[in-house]
Structure 1
Amino acid sequence: MTRTRLPTEAFLITFDTADGGALRRPRGSDGYPPYDIERLAPRMGVERLRVTLAVAGFDENELDVSIEANQLIICGKQVDREEVDYLFRGIASRQFQRVFAIEDGMEVTGASLRNGLLSVDIERHDPVHLVRKINISTAE
C-alpha cells in the first residue's frame, strides 16, 4: 500500500540563530523520511547548510529536488519493481514530499545521493548592497 503525504505547511530553513536553530518545524508533521540539517563551515565568507534525508531504497531517478518560489521541494516515488517474496519488509517504500521554505538570498548549489542519504547543499551569499543615486527634480 502506498501512502501519499502532502504537507500542509513548509519547514522553514533560516540562518537566523536568534531563536537557537536553523529550522522551525510545523506541528503535525509525520517525520518521513527522517532528515538532518547541519551548518557547514563557511567557505570564502559564504554561509552554508546541508539538508540530508534518509532515502534508503530510492534510486537517483526516483528522487526529485526542485526550487519553486523560495521553496525547496524534495519528492520521492519508487517505481514498481518485480514482485519480491519478502520474508520481512522493514524498509519503507512509500512516496513522499518534503517542502522547506528558504529565505531570500539562499541558493541551492547541488544535491548528491550516497549510501542511501540524499544531501542538498544550500548557501547564503552576502546581500549585494547597491547605492542608487536619486535625481531631485525642481518643481516649477
Structure 2
Amino acid sequence: MRSAFDFAPFRRSTVGFDRLFDMLENSNAAQGQENYPPFDLIRLSDNDYRIELAVAGFKPDEIDITAQQNVLLVTGRKKEEGGEKDNNYIYRGIATRSFERRFALADHIQVKGADMKDGLLAIELVREIPEAMKPRKINIGDQQPAIEAEKADA
C-alpha cells in the first residue's frame, strides 16, 4: 500500500532518517489494523509517559510485555478454563480473544515497569538520554587552541 505522500526526494537528501520515513510510509497500513484492546497514551511530564490498555477479563499471567529496540509488544493469550465451556451464556460481551499490540518507541525510551489494576494494564515509560548526548555548555578560553599548544611544546 502506498502512502499519499512521496518521501523519495527526502530520502535522497537526508542521512539517518530511514526508520522515520519507513514509519510514516507504513502508517496507512497501521490505521487499518484492529483497535483491540483500546488504549490511552498519557504524557506525565517531559520525560515520563504511561500507556494504559483496557484488558478486562485477562489475568496478569495471560499477558506478556516485551521491550525490544524501539518497539514495545504487548500480547494477551487467554487460557482455556474447563468451567467456562460449560456455562450457558445468553450474551457474551466481554472480549476474551487473543491480541497483539505494538507500540513504536522513540530513541532512549525505556520501560520502567507495568502494573495491572481494575482491568487496566499500565505501562510506565521514561526517556533516559545518555549523558554524552545531553547539551553541554562550552566555555570560551577554557582550553588552548591546538595551534598554540603545538607551539608551546616546540
TM-score (normalizing by structure 2): 0.63
Q: Deviations over 1:31-57 (max 9, x none)?
A: 100000000135xxxx11100100000
- State the partner residue of 1:41: 45
Cα displacement string for residues 39-80 of structure 1 (whole angstroms, at most 9, x for unaligned residues): 0135xxxx1110010000000000000112221000001100
Higher strand proportion, which one?
1
Q: Matches of 1:56 and 1:102 in 2, distance apart?
A: 25
Flag as ranges the 4+ runs of structure 1 deviating above 6 A: none
Post-superposition shift, 1:113? 0.4
Distance 1:27 1:87 in 2: 33
Q: Based on CA coordinates, which of the two structures has the bigger radius of gyration?
A: 2
5+ residue gaps, structure 1, are 1-23, 132-140
Aligned length in residues? 104
Q: 5+ residue gaps in structure 2?
A: 1-26, 137-154
- Partner of residue 103, structure 2: 100
State the TM-score, normalized to the length of structure 1. 0.68
* Higher RCO structure (Cα 8 Å, ≥6 apart): 1
* 2:137 is equivalent to residue 125 of structure 1: no
CA distance in 1, matches of 2:113, 2:132: 26
Q: What is the aligned partner in structure 2 of residue 70 from structure 1?
A: 70
Distance 2:59 2:77 in 1: 9
Tell me how large the CA RMSD over aligned residues is. 1.9
Q: Which residue of 2 aligns with 1:32?
A: 36
Percent identity (aligned): 37
